[in-house]
Structure 1
Amino acid sequence: SRKVLEKICDVDVSNDNFKYMDWIEATVAGVKARIFRISFTGELSFEINVQANFGMQTWKAVMAAGEEFNITPYGTETMHILRAEKGFIIVGQDTDGSVTPQDLDMDWVVGKKKEFSFIGKRSWTRFDNKRDDRKQMVGLKPKDPTFVLPEGAQIVFEKNQPIPMKMVGHVTSSYYSACMGYSFALAVVKGGISRKGERVFLPLSDGTTVEAEICSPVFYDPKGDRQHV
């Protein structure tokens, strides 16, 4: 993506000059633009923002510049698989109104040294939000690496229990990764962060039960090297 952009813009987009999460104003294919170095997928990516009526012109210029690199457009399914491999959540799909940064193991995103209050601070500090048995974001690896867990499938700790079973979480996102060669899922599980390596079971609507292992929700490039090159 950097090599493509270098061919059509008038600014230095090297890693030294244009860091991850930065943005710059530039001219792209003769059009005034804002370029954002952000990534929905965890890869080295740039988003180009131009006035709407220059959108097609810019698109064609990008595709022409990338022809030698054999670039191709990709759709939302591919985008969702890539982001899930990295453990990047979608708010509203992998979370709901009850999920907190602590539940996502992302309490680092909240500045704790602020000299002022902020919206959500009271909820952040409530004892209930610090419980270890809350539903927490984890990854799941099905025992059968070719089986894609149904999104929304309920999770139990014990396979052999009477109905109604005690549900302890559910699958939020589930895909097969061509890159990794196996299926994987994101899920929320009670106390899940401390249960990595444990097995859980998912009773399905057809009467079968599948087994999966709780793991980190980051399956690919865990250090984020690919988006920081």
Structure 2
Amino acid sequence: WEALWAEGQKHGACAYGTESMHVLRAEKGYIIVGQDTDGTVTPNDAALDWAVGKKKTDFVGIRGLMRPDLVAKGRKQLVGLKTKDPKVVLEEGAQIVEDPGQAIPMKMIGHVTSSYWSENCGRSIALALVAGGRDRMGKTLYVPMPNGTIEVEVTGMVFFDEKGERLNG
């Protein structure tokens, strides 16, 4: 480690842990397959349809991507969430509802897939799968918890350096 660290210092390297790596990837909206997605999430649901070849007439999976249930309106889509109180960090797996005053059992419209405190952003950030997520941008949703209901705003998935100026600069 000491030899590796000494060599790295010559090149401006820094040490970091896996939790830091998780926060950094979430700040940029980079997903973890299997955490932010599951077997039901399509590239479009994850805002990754840009990676699917539009000019290709055939490829493995093209028929599946055209199934009516996989292109239906209101599907769960990956979005960002910001808590109204920036100090509150959501629990991963927490359920999301549209109306916190509805009768129990409440209709759940999604869940938190990743959630962190971001020192770069000075606030908590989260990714979530939410029914019709992209159509809910700027809207307030609710996360009912045992100690009270947490208000969240639906946002884009990139929380830090949205325009990519640091990445591409």
| TM more than 0.5 | yes
Q: 1:160 aligns with which of 101, 108, 121?
A: 101
Q: Which residues of 2 match residues 143-222 of structure 1 at below 5 A?
A: 143-204=84-145, 206-222=146-162
Per-residue deviation at 1:68?
Answer: 5.5
Q: Which amino acid aligns with 2:59?
A: F
1:129 aligns with 2:60: no
SS in 2 for 1:81: helix
Q: Which residues of 2 match residues 12-51 of structure 1 at below 5 A?
A: none
Identical-residue share of aligned pairs (%):
54
SS in 1 for 2:19: helix
Give yes or no for contact 2:120–2:160 (8 Å, CA) kept in 1: no
SS in 1 for 2:92: coil
Per-residue deviation at 1:91?
Answer: 0.1
Give yes or no for contact 1:156–1:168 (8 Å, CA) kept in 2: yes
Larger Rg: 1
- Tell me the TM-score normalised to structure 2 length: 0.93
Per-residue deviation at 1:207?
Answer: 4.3
Task: Say if 1:203 and 1:171 are closer, same or farther in 2 by CA, change over 3 A.
Answer: same
Per-residue deviation at 1:69?
Answer: 6.8
Q: Which segments of 5 or more consecutive residues in structure 1 lack a partner in the other structure? A: 1-55
- Tell me which of the two structures has the higher relative contact order, counting C-alpha pairs closer than 8 angstroms and 6 or more residues apart: 2
Query: How many residues matched?
Result: 169
Per-residue deviation at 1:140?
Answer: 0.4
Q: What is the match of residue 3 of structure 2?
A: 60
1:84 aligns with 2:26: yes
Give yes or no for contact 2:113–2:129 (8 Å, CA) kept in 1: yes
C-alpha distance after superposition, 1:152-185 (max 9, x if no partner): 0000000101110000000000000111100010
Q: Which amino acid aligns with 2:66?
A: T
Q: Which amino acid aligns with 1:60?
A: A
Q: Which amino acid aligns with 2:108?
A: M
Give yes or no for contact 1:102–1:129 (8 Å, CA) kept in 2: no
Q: Which segments of 5 or more consecutive residues in structure 2 lack a partner in the other structure? A: none
Regions of 4+ moved over 3 Å: 68-71
